[in-house]
């Protein structure tokens, strides 16, 4: 994923905020909050709690159906409202395979691009993220993340290992569709973070990377170990173009790195 291309000097990561853009953003947020709240009130308890007493598989299927429709709103609003075209090239991700997705973390919205890919494959309700625990504490959104069984981490292996392995083991049933998304860098890319990453790498005899941060490998290996035998494949996604992201396009190259584990 070191092949990522970004021109941060000549192409800023964000377009300047204007009143129309602020208004569009607020309206989108209101739509997402209200729809999430309605789903939580009418379906969250029944699909994630009551139905789970009878069958974990059917509980996950029902949760994926209802809350997957909410997740589909995110890439839809992003592409339509912001007029951003998201392009995927390279290896095909089969819709019905249980896969591990790893991606570099160039911006704060990279997770939405993976939702975009999942939506195209009809797997928007089955994608799960390993994400920082503070996001799980957000009102409404955090509740949805809990229901969809996202894995919270503090980004400290001593504190995260037990919880991560415990939750990963619950994903081992081959009859449950699974797209597990991991950002090995652990945080979004900035020039300052890159400099700190390069300094750490040089001090510890590790490769000095220019376009990505040094990955955190323990969580990645835990995913492979815990899901060994139940994953069909692994795919890495590298951003190829970050130019004019908010008004043009973003392209990803998809490469298969694991098969029939």
**pLDDT value of position 25:** 78
Beta bridge partners of 235: 101, 256
Residue in the structure block whose two tokens are 């589909």: 72
**pLDDT value of position 166:** 93
Predicted confidence (pLDDT) at residue 8 exceeds the cutoff of 50: no
Dihedrals phi, psi of 185, to nearest 5 degrees: -70, -25
8: nearest Cα among 183, 187, 185, 188:
188
Domain ranges for the chain, please list them.
19-259
Q: Distances from the Cα of 178 to the Cαs of 85, 116, 154, 196, in angstroms?
A: 26, 16, 23, 34
Residues 108-158: tens digit of each pLDDT: 778 888 899 999 999 999 999 999 889 899 999 999 999 999 999 988 888
- Distance, C-alpha 131 to centroid of its chain: 8
**pLDDT value of position 248:** 64
Q: Locate 110 and state its tokens.
A: 């990279």
Give the DSSP letter string of the chain: -TT----TTTS-SSPPP-HHHHHHHHHHHHHHHHHHHHHIIIIIHIIIIIHHHH-HHHHHHHHHHHHHHHHHHHHHHHHHHS--EEEEEES---TTS-EEEEE---STTHHHHHHHHHHHTT-TTTEEEEEEHHHHTSTTHHHHHHHTT-EEE-S-HHHHHHHHHHHHHTT--TTS--EEEE-TT-S---HHHHHHHHHHHHHTT----SSSPPP-HHHHHHHHHHTTTT--EEEEEEEEE-TTTTTSEEEEEEEEEEE--
Distance (Å, rounded) from C-alpha 261 to C-alpha 231?
Answer: 6
Q: Distances from the Cα of 17 to the Cαs of 23, 24, 113, 222, 248, in angstroms?
A: 10, 11, 22, 41, 16
Residue 250 · residue 223 · CB < 8 Å: no
Q: What phi-psi label fits residue 181: left (phi over 0), alpha (psi between -120 and 50 degrees) or beta?
A: beta
Distance (Å, rounded) from C-alpha 4 to C-alpha 242?
Answer: 9
Grade residue 261 by pLDDT with cuts at 50, 70 and 90: very low
Residue 55 · residue 113 · CB < 8 Å: no
State the number of CA atoms in the 13 A half-sphere of 232 facing the CB: 14
Residues 163-220: tens digit of each pLDDT: 999 999 999 999 999 999 999 888 888 888 888 888 888 888 888 888 888 888 888 8
Residues 50-86: tens digit of each pLDDT: 999 999 999 999 999 999 999 998 888 878 777 778 8
CATH number of 19-259: 3.40.1130
What percent of the chain lies above the pLDDT cut of 70?
89
């Amino acid at each position: 994923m070191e092949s990522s291309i970004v021109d941060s000097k000549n192409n800023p990561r964000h377009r300047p905020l204007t009143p129309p853009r602020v208004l569009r953003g607020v309206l989108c947020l209101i739509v997402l909050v209200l729809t999430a709240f309605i789903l939580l009130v009418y379906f969250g308890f029944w699909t994630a709690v009551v139905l789970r007493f009878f069958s974990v598989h059917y509980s996950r299927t029902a949760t994926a159906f209802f809350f997957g429709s909410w997740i589909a709103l995110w890439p839809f609003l992003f592409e339509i409202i912001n007029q951003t075209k998201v392009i995927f090239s390279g290896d095909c991700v089969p819709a019905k395979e249980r896969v591990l997705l790893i991606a570099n973390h160039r911006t704060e919205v990279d997770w939405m691009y993976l939702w975009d890919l999942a939506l195209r494959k009809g797997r928007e309700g089955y994608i799960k993220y390993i994400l920082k625990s503070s996001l799980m504490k957000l009102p409404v959104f955090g509740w949805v993340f809990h229901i969809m069984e996202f894995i919270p981490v503090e980004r400290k292996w001593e504190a995260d290992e037990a919880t991560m392995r415990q939750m990963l083991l619950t994903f081992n049933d081959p009859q449950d569709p699974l797209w597990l998304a991991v950002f090995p860098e652990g945080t979004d890319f900035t020039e300052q973070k890159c400099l700190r990453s390069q300094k750490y790498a040089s001090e510890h005899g590790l490769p000095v990377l220019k376009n990505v941060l040094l990955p955190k490998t323990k969580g990645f290996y835990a995913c492979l170990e815990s899901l060994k035998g139940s994953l069909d494949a692994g795919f890495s996604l590298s951003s190829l173009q970050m130019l004019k992201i908010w008004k043009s396009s973003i392209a990803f190259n998809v490469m298969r790195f694991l098969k029939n584990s």
